[in-house]
Amino acid sequence: MAIPTPGQPVRGSRSGAPIMALFDLLGRRWGMGVLWRLSEGPCSFRVLQERCETISPTILNRRLKELREAEFIVRCDQGYCLTDLGRELHQMLVPLSCFSRQWAEVLRDETEEPS
């Protein structure tokens, strides 16, 4: 499966709008998850697999290839680590983490007290 590239046709944009290319890449199963887990620190393939808890090696390897091609990840002596670009991307995901807790509360409130 070709990795989505800005300027090339991608899901959501025949003209390859960068944001749609990024959504296409991160919107693959485990895309953001792998990035997120790796941001905890450089680590080996197997350790990363454990951090992800339930990912299969097949798909971990595929996502790693894609994210390396996109230059968010590189190989290093510890195994894999984020590039500067990757760290920057991770920074944009951090607010999502706060938001997700808020979201969890809203959902909980709705289901627990349908008053």
Residue 74 contacts DNA per CB under 7 A: no
DSSP state of 78: T
**Which amino acid appears at position 80 of this protein?**
Y
Question: Of these, 38, 41, 52, 79, which contacts a copy of itself (CB under 8 A)?
Answer: 52
CB 75 to a copy of itself: min, Å = 17
Which of the choices DNA, a copy of itself, none does residue 8 contact, using the CB cut-off of 5 to 8 A by kind? Answer: none
Cβ-contact 75, 83 below 8 angstroms: no
The two three-digit tokens of residue 47, written as one number: 């350790």
48 near a copy of itself, rule: CB under 8 A: no
Look up tokens 């450089």; give the residue: 42
| One-letter identity of residue 83 | T
Nearer Cβ to DNA, position 28 or 37? 28
User: Which is nearer to a copy of itself, 37 or 43 (by Cβ)?
Assistant: 37
Which range in 14-22, 49-57, 83-91, 102-110 contacts DNA by CB under 7 A?
49-57
Is residue 59 near DNA by the rule CB under 7 A?
Answer: yes
C-alpha span between 82 and 34 (Å, rounded) = 11
The span from the first CA to the last CA of the chain, in angstroms, equals: 49
What is the full DSSP assignment across 89-104? HHHHHHHHHHHHHHHH
Q: Among the candidate windows 56-64, 81-89, 97-105, 107-115, which touches DNA by CB under 7 A?
A: 56-64
